[in-house]
């Protein structure tokens, strides 16, 4: 099935390389990197590339290219899922997934690959199962020198900080003193897609959400995760499980959802409680989708007017719709302009702090960056918006409580429940 597996840096350097079948000519990694680096969207060539009968499938995770090659017609979806799982398992064992951690732990990484793939055929990608076959201890990378990784890094702000190990802790590393910190992390991550008309009305809106869990609990205790009591799933009728609340309607209505294989739904119909014994590593407890009307975090209106024979003015207004106690960060607003645009000027409100504007001449794009924002109304020119809002979720899906079965009277592990909302496609039409 799989001929080769390799990991390349952003510069094209080999970090990991494993040839399982010896049927692909040497130099495949260089061929792949040239194809990806110089690939043009306007060209008729399809991606992923096929060169001399060799198929290249890849994903980019944490700035690294995870690639497999194959000489046969294999389902691309299968290989993409396999690559994502290999990246996840590697991060579970190393704690941090980047070039430095891979190079320092190359023996452990090759040991993982030998168990995950055998002669080109996938065997297992379960962190828990692999524990029985992996004997090398990871060499931990100093997390203090690393840039923030992923949504969980947003929770390192403020007075009540999450522990520094929340993002960079290995599931197998032995901590100083021989004691293991008992803790569990639950993240509710939502990605919002909204399209506004030129007059500011919402044309389309959708939420893709997931409940992520990462457990560092010893002994595999049973966990009960309670969601909103008035949660309703499915707008019409019932399915094999009647997911609708007993009242027939709820304040939170999800279109559909799916659960991890370890989740038991015995009491879900009664009190909206999920029961599970969490496996090692990070996994998605529940994925869900919502298209019901919801209050978007930002209201965007854009207006363009001619200001002369060869000049146009764009007015953009952004209004925050969430509580003043919530702070949005990493806000980027962009708008492509005609290819014949020569220059652009920006005008920000007097006293604006932590904001930058730029005209990207190469890509013909206006860009406005806001470091942090609460309730904002500004003037600028883009219509595409990217942002991250910690401790906020538009669907109002909540975790009522997180209960862990006690092994003793003194057993009281740390519990962390966190929320984050990100823009997936947040667009205002002119």
DSSP per-residue string spanning 135-147: -PPP----GGGSP
Q: What are phi and psi of 11, to 5 degrees?
A: -90, -5
DSSP structure class, residue 177? G
**Gap between the Cα atoms of 247 and 8, Å rounded:** 54
E strand map for 86-201 = 117-118, 121-122, 183-196
Residue with tokens 């430095």: 100
Here the tokens at position 178 are 């021989």
* 281-290/117-118 β-pairing: unpaired
Q: What angle do CA 333, 208, 249 make, to 5 degrees?
A: 125
H or E element: which one contains 85? helix 76-94
281 closest CA partner among 137, 86, 420: 86
pLDDT at 69: 92
Cβ-based neighbours of 410, under 8 Å, separated by 6 or more? none
- In terms of C-beta density within 10 A (0-12 exposed, 13-18 middle, 19 or more buried), how is residue 85 classed? middle
H or E element: which one contains 34? helix 28-37
pLDDT at 162: 42
pLDDT at 87: 92
What's the whole-model pTM score?
Answer: 0.69
Q: How many CB atoms lie within 10 A of CB 91?
A: 24
36 closest CA partner among 14, 11, 19: 11
H or E element: which one contains 207? strand 202-215
Q: Are 346 and 357 in contact (CB under 8 A)?
A: yes
Residue with tokens 């205002």: 428
For the chain, 430 residues long, give each residue's pLDDT as a single digit of tens. 889 999 999 888 889 999 998 888 888 888 888 888 776 555 555 555 778 888 899 999 888 999 999 998 888 899 999 999 999 899 888 888 889 999 999 899 999 999 999 988 999 988 888 888 888 888 877 654 444 434 444 443 433 334 434 455 676 665 655 566 788 889 999 999 998 887 778 888 999 999 999 888 877 789 999 998 888 887 653 333 444 433 333 478 898 999 998 899 988 888 899 999 888 778 889 999 998 888 888 888 777 787 777 788 887 778 888 888 888 887 888 888 887 788 888 887 776 777 888 888 877 788 877 776 654 333 334 477 888 888 888 888 888 888 888 777 777 788 888 888 888 888 877 6
- At how many degrees (to 10) do helices 76-94 and 106-116 cross? 140
Q: Are 105 and 95 in contact (CB under 8 A)?
A: no
């Amino acid at each position: 099935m799989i001929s080769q597996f390799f990991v390349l840096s952003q510069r094209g350097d080999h970090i990991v390389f494993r040839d399982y079948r010896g049927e692909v000519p040497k130099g495949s990694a260089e061929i792949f990197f040239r194809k990806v680096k110089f690939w043009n969207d306007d060209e008729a060539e399809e991606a992923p590339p096929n060169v001399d009968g060799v198929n290249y499938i890849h994903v980019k995770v944490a700035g690294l290219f995870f690639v497999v090659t194959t000489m046969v017609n294999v389902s691309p979806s299968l290989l993409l899922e396999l690559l994502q799982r290999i990246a996840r398992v590697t991060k579970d064992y190393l704690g941090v997934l980047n070039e430095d951690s891979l190079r320092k732990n190359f023996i452990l990484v090759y040991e993982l690959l030998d168990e995950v793939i055998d002669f080109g055929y996938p065997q297992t990608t379960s962190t828990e199962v692999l524990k029985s076959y992996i004997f090398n201890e990871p060499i931990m990378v100093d997390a203090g020198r690393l840039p923030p990784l992923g949504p969980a890094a947003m929770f390192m702000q403020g007075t009540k900080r999450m522990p520094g190990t929340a993002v960079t802790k290995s599931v197998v590393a032995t901590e100083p003193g021989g004691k293991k910190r008992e803790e569990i992390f639950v993240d509710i991550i939502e990605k919002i897609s909204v399209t506004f008309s030129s007059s500011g009305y919402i044309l389309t809106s959708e939420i893709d959400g997931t409940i992520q869990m990462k457990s560092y609990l010893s002994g595999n205790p049973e966990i009960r995760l309670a969601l909103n009591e008035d949660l309703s799933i499915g707008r019409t009728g019932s399915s094999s499980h009647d997911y609708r609340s007993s009242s027939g309607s709820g304040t939170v209505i999800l279109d559909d959802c799916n659960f991890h294989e370890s989740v038991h739904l015995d009491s879900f119909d009664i009190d909206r409680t999920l029961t599970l014994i969490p496996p090692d590593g990070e996994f998605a407890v529940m994925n869900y989708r919502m298209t019901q009307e919801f209050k978007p975090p930002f209201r965007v209106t854009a207006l363009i007017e001619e200001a002369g024979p060869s000049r146009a003015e764009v007015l953009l207004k952004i209004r925050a719709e969430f509580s003043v106690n919530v702070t949005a960060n990493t806000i980027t607003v962009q708008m492509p302009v005609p290819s014949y645009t020569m220059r652009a000027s920006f005008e920000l409100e007097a006293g604006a702090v932590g904001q930058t504007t730029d005209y990207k001449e190469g890509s013909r794009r206006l860009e406005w960056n806001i470091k942090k924002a609460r309730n904002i109304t500004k003037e600028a020119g883009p219509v595409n918006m990217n942002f991250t809002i910690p401790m906020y979720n538009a669907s109002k899906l909540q975790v009522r409580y997180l209960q862990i079965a006690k092994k003793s009277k003194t057993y009281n592990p740390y519990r962390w429940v966190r929320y984050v909302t990100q823009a997936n496609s947040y667009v205002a039409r002119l």
